[in-house]
Structure 1
Amino acid sequence: MLAVTVLAGTAVFAGPGASADRDPPFFIIKDRRINESSGLAVSPTHKDVYYTHNDSGAGPVFYALGPDGRTRATFTLQGVTARDWEGMAASRDPQTGQALLWFGDIGDNFDGAWPDISVYKVNEPTVLRDAVLSAVRYRFRYEDGGHNAEGIMVHPRTGRLYIVTKQFAGAIYAAPKRLRTDRINVLRKIGPAPIMATDAAYAPDGSSFVIRTYFSATVYRAPGDQIARVSMPQLQQAESIAYTADGKALLTGSEGVNSPVYRVPLPAEVLRETAPKPTPTPPVSRSAGAALVADTRADDAAGTGVPSLAVAAWLAVAAAATGIITFVARRTR
């Protein structure tokens, strides 16, 4: 049974998610090389494939996992330095449909120790086989100084990148619509984030996004517009979150060897709030003549009024008479 608590104007749902720590994990990461799983993303093209990567000190490597938690492929980014990888996202290019993976080298435990941060964009591999991949690097700085961050997300419809800072007064920052590789891109603050956010992700349809903290997850319609706070399973160190491919549940993971990944169904109330709203049909503009014909047809159907053929004949006669009168008037001037 779904229990709901209202806290500071936000519904806190404790239903399927609250008991997740007592339910078996969705899968357990079995590769012992993955000992600090920090990011998590669902493949846009490969069914039942999930990507993750380690935290700092592990090199520019990410892993493709199957639904059994076993590694199906290991990928290395060529010529890339992994200073402090903290989050990842998956998306499709809105223009081309190309499946993309994004890796955020955005950790900064000193809140400004680095002059800039980096996000790497990679075309998702079409074949799940160990490989070295090329990546595009985008450099960023915040408009208001350095911050520590662990969450990145990409809007599925616009392709725009967002970074969520991990601080007591965290915030959401938007990247420019068009990213440049030849200069540093400026991140601009667009809204608040929960205390100590560890990850973030957009729903597959772009209707909402979620921000994870060590203790719970909050779903938003837009920055500053909360829908609900969803209880999460107790983890050793909650680090990652992603939506399932159908957008009906959240996946959340932790650091550590043999770390679990849990599937937390979104409560019906949240799904209802984020469901597409019917688009009102605008009134059809009609000319006076078309409206008259439609009205007379309606009268015919109801068995009342003047038959439409009679109206049409009357209009024709009136038009002819008007023409004759005009002709005579001109001739008699």
Structure 2
Amino acid sequence: MVRGVRAVVGVAVALPFLLGAAAGDGASGRPVLRFEDPDVVESSGLALVDGLLVTTNDSGDSGRVFAVDPTTGQTVGVTAWSPAPEDVEALAPAGDGDVWVADTGDNRAVRDSVEVLRVPVGRGDVDAAPERYELVYPDGARDAEALLAHPVTGQLFVVTKGIFAGEVYAAPLRLRADRPNRLVQVADAPGIVTDAAFLPGGGALVLRTYTNAHVVAYPSWEPLGWWELPAQDQGEGIAVAGDDLWLSTEGARSQVLAVDLPPAASAADLAGPAWSVWRWLATARGLPL
């Protein structure tokens, strides 16, 4: 019965969205910045942390993330670590000036396990020794380019990059550094997902591919609709910035573009149970909503 109610609510929220499939900016986008750092050549993940835009290069780079001033496009801090990762593909906000780094790429599907790291970011260069957590799929190796961190609970979700369809795997709510953390499949995903991000309330999320964005309700994982993204050479990054989505692509001195979130996406987010919890906590602590 609960699932049926969720489905009805999902259809009601999504209907105007689905009828206007090109909600948002469709095939256009507004320039936000251009990465000026010559070392940022394959932006493959985005996260906004304390007013800075954090990005990372795709596979083949050393262990490092770049903190970029969004008003100038200049790198203002680099956090580095060793040993070098195998294939970093995504970032997600981790709170308290940190980001989650997803070393989850596996094009040949040969890795017995993958890894996420909690890395400090900010202005200035830092050599870090980040916390590392091993993740193991329940059904064999997968290639994944998207990592989600729920804004209220902090739980991590890995989204795989299948050609025709992918899967969403949930990590344990509390990760253990002293042993492998087993993932559990919780939902299906569209094919060729290259990045993902929760909306601020935690009641909805956006999955991006090279060409489209898909809005999904949480925790039902019901798809609510999709729209076309601006053309990018190899779009592999997404971050939520207020009522906008910021999109990055691989390539030297590449641009970050902004597109509007469809109203239905924000409506779904505000209807989510996580937003109600956050609103209650914020009110109890006297925080602005």
TM-based fold match above 0.5: yes
1:119 to 2:127 alignment: no
Q: Give distance in 2, aligned partners of 1:124 and 1:74.
A: 7
Q: For residue 25 of structure 1, give the secondary structure of its aligned residue in structure 2.
A: strand
1:28 to 2:34 alignment: yes
AA aligned to 1:261 is V
Summarize deviations over 1:134-182 as a string: whole Å, max 9, x none.
2000001101111000000100111101000000230000001111111
* RMSD, aligned α-carbons: 2.1
Partner residue of 1:221? 217
Partner residue of 1:105? 103
Asked if structure 1 preserves the Cα contact closer than 8 Å seen for 2:118 and 2:132, the reply is yes
1:253-332 to structure 2, matched below 5 A, reads 253-276=248-271
Partner residue of 1:58? 61
Q: CA offset at residue 19 of structure 1?
A: 4.2
Aligned counterpart in structure 2 of residue 195 of structure 1, from 177, 191, 195: 191
Change in 2 beyond 3 A, CA 1:12/1:99: farther
Partner residue of 1:18? 26
Q: CA offset at residue 274 of structure 1?
A: 2.6
Change in 2 beyond 3 A, CA 1:11/1:102: farther
1:245-256 to structure 2, matched below 5 A, reads 246=242, 248-256=243-251
Q: Give distance in 2, aligned partners of 1:221 and 1:15.
A: 17
Q: For residue 26 of structure 1, give the secondary structure of its aligned residue in structure 2.
A: strand
Q: Give distance in 2, aligned partners of 1:84 and 1:163.
A: 14
Partner residue of 1:231? 228
AA aligned to 1:121 is R
Partner residue of 2:85? 82
Query: Taking every aligned residue pair, what percent have the same amino acid on both sides?
Result: 33
Partner residue of 1:149? 144
Summarize deviations over 1:274-313 as a string: whole Å, max 9, x none.
324798xxxxxxxxxxxxxxxxxxxxxxxxxxxxxxxxxx
Q: Which runs of 5+ in 1 are unaligned?
A: 1-5, 93-97, 280-333
Q: For residue 110 of structure 1, give the secondary structure of its aligned residue in structure 2.
A: coil
Partner residue of 2:287? none
Summarize deviations over 1:172-203 as a string: whole Å, max 9, x none.
00001111111111111000011111011111
Asked if structure 1 preserves the Cα contact closer than 8 Å seen for 2:199 and 2:269, the reply is no
Q: CA offset at residue 20 of structure 1?
A: 2.2
Q: Give distance in 2, aligned partners of 1:243 and 1:191.
A: 22
**Relative contact order higher in (CA < 8 Å, ≥ 6 apart):** 2
Q: CA offset at residue 11 of structure 1?
A: 5.0
Q: Give distance in 2, aligned partners of 1:15 and 1:191.
A: 25
Q: Give distance in 1, aligned partners of 2:247 and 2:83.
A: 27
Aligned residues: 257
AA aligned to 1:239 is E
Q: Give distance in 1, aligned partners of 2:224 and 2:112.
A: 35
